[in-house]
């Protein structure tokens, strides 16, 4: 199953300039999701990170993994995307292996490690052209939005 940006925006609460997933290319509910972010020189963070040598901040690569992980959680155990949010609780074993630069397509893969009730443990990898850029284990929880 593929998801375009319209469907992604119906699931994620994020909006410009903080949407870090452009397309989902494949989902196996309860198991794995694949997608990507096209990294453009027009991204606002490149103005200061770093002038003359632009590199996508590692925390935003992790954010991309967390966002696509939220889409996997939604596809696996649908929740009310308007009434609930998936909060990022933490990351373990995070490593940054290679820089992500303007013009790159950041490929994202997240797998379910464990799911109990509203808590998800996920394993994510971000690559560019087959080269591992970042990896880690993510912990997230689905909670009701405060009204």
Residue 98, domain CATH: 3.10.129.10
Q: Which pLDDT score, from 0 to 100, does residue 94 have? A: 98
Q: Which domain holds residue 135?
A: 5-144
pLDDT (tens digit, 0 to 9) for every residue of the chain, 147 residues total?
A: 899 999 999 999 999 999 999 999 999 999 999 999 999 999 999 999 999 999 999 999 999 999 999 999 999 999 999 999 999 999 999 999 999 999 999 999 999 999 999 999 999 999 999 999 999 999 999 999 986
Total structural domains in the chain?
A: 1
Q: How many angstroms separate the CA atoms of 129 and 112, rounded?
A: 23
Show which residues are catalytic: 49
Question: Taking the complete model, does pTM exceed 0.95, yes or no?
Answer: yes
């Amino acid at each position: 199953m593929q998801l375009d940006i319209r469907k992604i925006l119906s699931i994620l609460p994020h909006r410009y300039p903080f949407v870090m997933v452009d397309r989902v290319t494949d989902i196996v509910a309860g198991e794995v999701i694949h997608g990507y972010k096209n990294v453009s020189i027009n991204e606002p963070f490149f103005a200061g990170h770093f002038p003359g040598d632009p590199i996508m901040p590692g925390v935003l690569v992790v954010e991309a993994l967390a966002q696509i992980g939220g889409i996997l959680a939604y596809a696996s155990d649908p929740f009310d995307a308007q009434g609930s949010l998936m909060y990022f609780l933490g990351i373990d074993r995070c490593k940054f292996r290679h820089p992500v630069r303007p013009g790159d397509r950041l490929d994202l893969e997240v797998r379910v490690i464990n799911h109990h009730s509203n808590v998800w443990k996920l394993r994510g990898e971000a690559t560019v052209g087959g080269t591992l850029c970042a990896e880690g284990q993510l912990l997230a929880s689905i909670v009701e939005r405060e009204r």
